[in-house]
Amino acid sequence: MPPFIASATNAKHIRAIADMLNACSIAKTVTYQQMTRAIGKDVRTVPYILGRARRLSNEETGAVFKTVRGTGCERMPANQAPSIDNTFRAHVRKGARGVVRMLSNAMEKANDLTPDEVRRGWQAITHQGMIGQLAQDRSAPKMPDSILPPDPAKTARDTLEAMRGALGRRG
């Protein structure tokens, strides 16, 4: 993927796609074909433009879009927006498992590591293991109704305490 280069052209493309996303009705899809026509190049070859446009649309209107593979971006109803958490946590778990597997193989098979490099390697494995553990569904406790409307600081404290408890039971 080519790197993002800030330019007037890219800013114009981001704005054009963001405007399309902002105008999209709930449960409707803005197709890759429509976005491609709007900017004059295949939007799938410049995913950073689409990503920035989605972020801009979210900042301006609060709209949340899910990717419909091979089709485009579908606007989600606000009450379904929290479901993106499940998708992201699954992505984090998969990534953490891959890193742990890769680092573990390197640590087991390399014979030229210094003690400090071994320590740093196992520290990285531990960090990734913790991230994967915290991204599990059972580590994301259901928040009680008593905190609605949410107080961000209290929500963060309650979530942290629940996660600490979850990690303590597994240890």
Q: Where are the domains of the chain?
A: 8-76, 80-140, 142-171
CA distance 123 to 63: 39
What are the E-state strand segments in 24-150?
Answer: 29-31, 64-68, 72-76
Give me the average pLDDT of each 10-residue run along the chain (171 residues).
76 96 96 96 93 96 94 94 86 94 90 88 92 82 63 81 73 45
* pTM over the 0.85 mark: no
Across the beta sheet with 29-31, the strand order is 29-31, 72-76, 64-68
- Which CATH number, 3.40.50, 1.10.10, 1.20.81, 1.20.120, labels domain 8-76? 1.10.10
Instruction: Yes or no: say if 49 and 43 are a contact pair by the CB < 8 Å rule.
Output: yes
The pLDDT of residue 165 is 76
Q: What angle do CA 74, 58, 48 make, to 5 degrees?
A: 75
pLDDT of residue 123: 93
What is residue 110's predicted lDDT score, i.e. its pLDDT? 84
pLDDT for position 144: 63
Q: Supply the pLDDT for residue 153.
A: 84
Q: What is the pLDDT of residue 148?
A: 62
